Structure 1
């Protein structure tokens, strides 16, 4: 019975766990990396989330990140995600992909 109720809640968005990454926008290039802003919808707001990719094809390395920062506007969260990704790249440098 609990499984059926959970399915009904999920169908109508009642489980509160709608934290799905949104499709990536065009990547932003920064210091030989591509930054993909992939904010997560959460309770009518947006959480900072994204990917940093370095290299191409088989040699591509990726770092995913999610932060606690929440914004009401998708445009604001995308800008904040790019700022946070640049900060991560600057602070961690090559160690980011080890």
Structure 2
């Protein structure tokens, strides 16, 4: 794995742990975006996953951002929006 991928994350190895609580999900351009609950003290940190089945294999990319908030609804909306932005910018390249 490259230095940048290990630093910023990427690819199937970054799949969300099975115990993650999904706050919301949305389909977008053939991808599935999920907002994940990630507690940071008394606040929630922006996190989510982007999934797509490619050649019969489910690929997952986990993203975590520095944004923190206390509202689950706001966090969910922002995580889904951030997932769309990542897809628009990188497409399937996020899995390589």
TM range (shorter): 0.7 to 0.9
1:86 — aligned with what?
84
Name the Cα RMSD after superposition.
2.0
Mark the structure with the bigger radius of gyration: 1
TM-score (norm 1): 0.71
SS of 1:88's partner is: helix
Structure 1 unmatched ranges of 5 or more: 1-20
Is the Cα contact below 8 Å between 2:24 and 2:36 reproduced in 1? Answer: no
**Structure having greater relative contact order (Cα 8 Å, sep ≥ 6):** 2
- Runs of 4+ aligned residues of structure 1 deviating over 6 Å after TM superposition are none
**Count of residues paired in the alignment:** 78
Query: How does the TM-score come out when normalised to structure 2?
Result: 0.72
Unaligned runs of 5+ in 2: 1-18
